[in-house]
């Protein structure tokens, strides 16, 4: 009887520990699901629309939540597009993503409406303000974000851009491909960092294609990354008569999936395409 009671007690203790672990696991899963829903809320569902251009975006987290984000908003005739990536991945990085994204969007809205800044001045001012706040208040966490911001003006057909340490986007022209340069460091590392902005023409039929490092780093079961060469080829051979922001985004996603196969995602992946509608 004593041995039986010992066995019962031991079994009860084991079941109690198991239930405790399962309860904790359920709570963690619930919290992660809440974080995932909050992250999805940060990714806008309704992109700006215009007869002059079209936008397409794609986001896929490597884990439960993504540290990448995209944004797009139209303010007084200027369309802003943003694609960004917080270092590392997972819940912690996603938390910082929410701070970065909120500060950036608020600053773009505020300074676009309250000042008469030219696009270059606007983008550099916003980058410096967000950078200094994050470096001063969260610098000890060693978290930072790479960010690309484009400001497209329909009236002039010009896009002013600032690239803070981010992967270099491509511009597909009529018969050639250009790659934009990096114009400043990642945001959130050092206070008083120097940012600059460039301006270029986006003419009829041109396409801006931006991405996070989850694109070149997409790995197959051998550990080989997809790289940038396949992307360059896809852009150059695209049928210009049927090209849209949506079709090129879908094609890139399909080709990455073929390369990766069933291998677990190595990093978050985000894509953004801006296509200037061809004139008849």
For every one of its 280 residues, what pLDDT tens digit does the chain have, with 9 covering 90 and above? 444 344 434 444 544 454 455 444 544 455 555 555 655 565 677 899 899 999 999 998 877 677 888 999 999 889 999 999 988 766 677 778 888 888 899 999 888 877 676 899 999 999 999 999 888 887 777 789 999 999 999 989 999 999 999 999 999 998 899 999 999 999 998 887 799 999 999 999 999 999 999 999 999 999 999 999 999 999 999 998 899 999 999 999 999 999 999 888 888 899 999 999 988 6
Q: Which two tokens stand for residue 100?
A: 């970065």
Could you give the angle at which helices 245-260 and 229-237 cross, rounded to 10 degrees? 140
**Is this prediction's pTM over 0.95?**
no
Per DSSP, which regions of 43-174 are E strands? 53-60, 68-75, 78-86, 145-153, 158-164, 170-172
What is the helix, strand, coil percentage profile of the chain, to 5? 40, 25, 35
Q: What is the largest CA-CA distance in the chain?
A: 92
How far apart are the C-alpha atoms of 162 and 122, rounded to whole Å?
A: 10
For domain 43-276, the CATH class is: alpha beta
> Taking Cα atoms as reference points, which of 69, 42, 49 lies closest to residue 58?
69
pLDDT of residue 112: 85
How far apart are the C-alpha atoms of 211 and 170, rounded to whole Å?
A: 9
Classify the C-alpha dihedral 244-246-251-256 as positive or negative: positive
């Amino acid at each position: 009887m004593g041995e039986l009671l010992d066995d019962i007690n031991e079994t009860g203790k084991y079941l109690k520990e198991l239930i405790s672990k399962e309860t904790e696991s359920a709570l963690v899963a619930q919290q992660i699901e809440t974080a995932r829903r909050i992250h999805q809320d940060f990714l806008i569902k309704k992109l700006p629309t215009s007869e002059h251009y079209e936008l397409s975006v794609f986001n896929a987290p490597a884990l439960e939540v993504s540290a990448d984000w995209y944004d797009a908003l139209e303010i007084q005739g200027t369309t802003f597009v943003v694609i960004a990536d917080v270092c590392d991945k997972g819940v912690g990085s996603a938390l910082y993503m929410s701070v970065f994204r909120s500060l950036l969007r608020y600053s773009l809205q505020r300074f676009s409406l309250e000042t008469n800044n030219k696009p270059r001045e606007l983008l550099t001012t916003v980058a410096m303000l967000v950078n200094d706040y994050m470096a001063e208040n969260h610098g000890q966490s060693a978290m930072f974000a790479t960010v690309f911001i484009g400001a497209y003006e329909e009236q002039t057909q010009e896009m002013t851009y600032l690239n803070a340490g981010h992967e270099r986007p491509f511009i597909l022209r009529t018969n050639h491909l250009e790659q934009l340069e990096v114009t400043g460091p990642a945001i959130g590392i050092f206070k008083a960092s120097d940012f600059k902005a460039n301006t270029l023409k986006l003419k009829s039929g041109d396409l801006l294609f931006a991405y996070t490092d989850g694109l070149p780093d997409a790995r197959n079961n051998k550990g080989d990354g997809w790289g940038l060469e396949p992307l360059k080829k896809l852009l150059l051979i695209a049928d210009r008569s049927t090209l849209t922001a949506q079709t090129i985004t879908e094609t890139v996603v399909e080709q990455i999936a073929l390369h990766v196969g069933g291998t677990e995602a190595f990093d978050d992946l985000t894509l953004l395409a801006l296509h200037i509608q061809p004139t008849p």
